[in-house]
Structure 1
Amino acid sequence: MFTRLLVPSAFLPRWSGFARGFNTGIASQCAVCRSWPARQVCEPCVARFAQPEARCNRCALALPADLSMGLRTGPPLCGACAVEPPPLDRAFAGVAYGYPWSTLVAGYKFGERHGWAGFFAGLLLQSPGLAQVFGELEPEDWLLP
């Protein structure tokens, strides 16, 4: 037999915050393939959809394979940024903004799914070259959307 839990209206904001926090600690289905992992996205899906790849230093778009056989001396830039550089000094992206990440990022940003922050930070930390840049930047140099 189920009983209905009545919560006074004065406690509703606190209760909804508690319930939201409680639900993030419970095992759930992978947001991509619906398996039952220990994280929001299972390891096979991360391996399939979030492989670190070379990206343009200015806009963070994926670059084709380096065919210079190590002869390139400058930073990796896409054709558009080589012709007309954007106003940013450097950009990083953990994953390409496509399936399945576009839906998950939109849910994180606009759907109040704050529990995804650590997962997306982990993907970003896997970006090639990011560890080196961490040591070069001061806190006031960061601009995070």
Structure 2
Amino acid sequence: MLKFYLYGAIVLGAALSTNALAIDCLDSNKLDNTALGHALLGNTVCVGSSGNWEAQEEHRPGDELWDYHSGPDSANLPTPPPIINDPDSRDPTDRLGTWTITDNEVTYNYTSVHDSGPYTYTLHNDGSLTLYKFCAAGSGTDTEVTILTGTGAGCTPP
């Protein structure tokens, strides 16, 4: 009987350590304005998974939202050199739009290539150091993300 409990504890521990449990959009784990600011300001939100990032959004001061892409121009020059007038030959960091925090929600306005928004979310965390969930405050999609400290390095963990 003891082996059964030990096996159950190992399985539960493994599930918790790999973050297999999803974060729910509950009021009990919703971040308030102050916690939202601490989680986002000066940090990078990573959507997707390591090596397959769908978005790497830097939350810079002044409510500026930047897409890291592959980094600054100086670090992205491909070999051979880019084709002239080919915007896809480089993948530099560029400004996407703005982000603002009001009433325990974060709102995004994409004014760059996307020219869309606003999109409003609540942000939830279950005690994890880096895993969060953006929950759509209206229509939209709930999205689990990783938030890494700092900007300028993309979604490569330290």
TM-score, scaled to structure 1 = 0.24
| Larger helix percent | 1
Which has the larger strand fraction?
2
When Rg is computed on C-alpha atoms for both structures, the one with the higher figure is 1
Taking structure 2 as the reference length, the TM-score comes to: 0.22
